[in-house]
Amino acid sequence: MKTSKRILAVVLTVVLAFSVFAVSAFAVDGSMTYTVVADSTNYATGDTVTVNIYLKNDYNATCLRFPVLYSADVFEVPTTGVRLTAYDDCLTYKGSLEANTSNDASLYPEEYDSSAYGCVLVQWTASVTSTNIGCFNSAESVKCFSFQLKVKSTAGGATGSIFIPSESTLFYNQAVTDVTDATTICRINTTLNFEGLDVEIDAGGSDGITTYAGSQVIIDYNNKTIKNWAGLTMSLATIKANVQPLGNATLTYAVSSGTAGTYGTGAKVRVWLDGALLDDYYILIYGDIDGDGTVAANDSSALTKVTAGLADLETGIFTTAADLDASGDVNAADSSNLVKAVAGLTDIDQTV
């Protein structure tokens, strides 16, 4: 009941946020495609799954509300919450962003059982100024939101679904025809398209590496990296407290090949089976570009020189650590963000 009231309160907030403007009575046609993408294709029990929502549309969206359902027997909300994050124009023009979770049956389409599915309700409104309204409008599919789920300890060998239902009273779309004129706010007759996904959970008999239950660390099995470390410093003890061998595998640890040679970016967790090396997984800390395990002024100073063309950056995992927004290019925006992070003015997203 408390969650339902909270969702209702947020919905009312969304409505009230735009009530000061004259909302046009007309509605326009539009389409939006929602695509659900996970951060990996290989998960074991206890793993954190970062769920990414990609969107594309053909109108100026100023308000979005949509539910994401997940198999309740496979996934659960982490103890630290879903950690909803915005990206791209949904970050640039964010007025508010909120996630609500509930198993209230009234929030589900008739064909879905609230005992079988959990729900994350994503709610985003654009920024509003005296001269324009922010909006999301992209002809290409781009990552707009992400949140986290946890694989239950009892889900070994199961397949779980994460998807946006084709029909729900929770959907809400609002738009403008002219971003410089707040009086043009209108409702959208939206054609919705959806691409969900199924996630297979390792049965636990294979040999490899996984996280301990309760850890927020993310193992990116595709890119062989381990990320989302809490805080801005690292140590061997921190690594050992978060990752563990799976099956009959054993783990060893190697220091970074960076300038400091400690357990920061570039350090390796090595996975062995019967004396043979199975895989190397690299520690990744966005902002720690020298591998000393700390995001500090020396990193921001070095990256400023790199982006100015005055110095070279060690390639490989260190280039990845310098690309703070995961855009695929290390540039002045990354340098600026790192300077702000070191000064305590912003946080670095370690989940990208």
Is the pLDDT at 182 greater than 70? The verdict is no
Q: Which residues contact 33 (CB under 8 A, 6 or more apart)?
A: 55, 56, 57, 141, 192, 193, 194, 195
pLDDT digits (tens, 9 = 90+) for 98-120: 998 876 666 677 778 888 999 99
User: Which residues on neighbouring strands pair with residue 118, listed in sequence order?
Assistant: 70
Q: Which residues contact 246 (CB under 8 A, 6 or more apart)?
A: 44, 202, 204, 206, 207, 208, 209, 210
Q: What is the pLDDT at residue 206?
A: 63
Closest CA to 88 of 55, 133, 60: 55
Scanning the structure block, which residue is given the tokens 């990752």?
243
pLDDT digits (tens, 9 = 90+) for 132-161: 888 999 999 999 999 999 988 778 788 999
Lowest-confidence pick of 72-76, 179-183, 330-334: 179-183
Closest CA to 120 of 50, 187, 61: 50
C-alpha span between 89 and 295 (Å, rounded): 27
Q: What is the pLDDT at residue 43?
A: 86
User: What is the model's pTM?
Assistant: 0.57
Percentage, residues of the chain above pLDDT 90: 43
Q: What is the pLDDT at residue 35?
A: 94
Sign of torsion, CA 136 142 148 149? positive
Q: What is the pLDDT at residue 23?
A: 47
Take residue 132 and report the two structure tokens written for it: 């324009």
Rg of the chain over Cα atoms, rounded to whole angstroms, equals 22
230: alpha, beta or left, given left = phi > 0 and alpha = psi -120 to 50? Answer: beta
246: alpha, beta or left, given left = phi > 0 and alpha = psi -120 to 50? Answer: beta
Do residues 282 and 307 make contact, with C-beta atoms less than 8 angstroms apart?
no
Q: What is the pLDDT at residue 4?
A: 34
Mean pLDDT of all residues belonging to the chain: 83
C-alpha span between 226 and 326 (Å, rounded): 15
All structural domains of the chain: 22-200 (2.60.40.680), 208-342 (1.10.1330.10)
Grouping H, G, I as helix, E, B as strand and the rest as coil, residue 232 is: coil
pLDDT digits (tens, 9 = 90+) for 14-44: 333 433 344 444 677 889 999 999 988 778 8
C-alpha span between 246 and 271 (Å, rounded): 9
Is the pLDDT at 252 greater than 90? The verdict is yes
Do residues 301 and 311 make contact, with C-beta atoms less than 8 angstroms apart?
no
Q: What is the pLDDT at residue 233?
A: 66
Do residues 207 and 248 make contact, with C-beta atoms less than 8 angstroms apart?
yes
Q: What is the pLDDT at residue 204?
A: 59
Do residues 69 and 42 make contact, with C-beta atoms less than 8 angstroms apart?
no
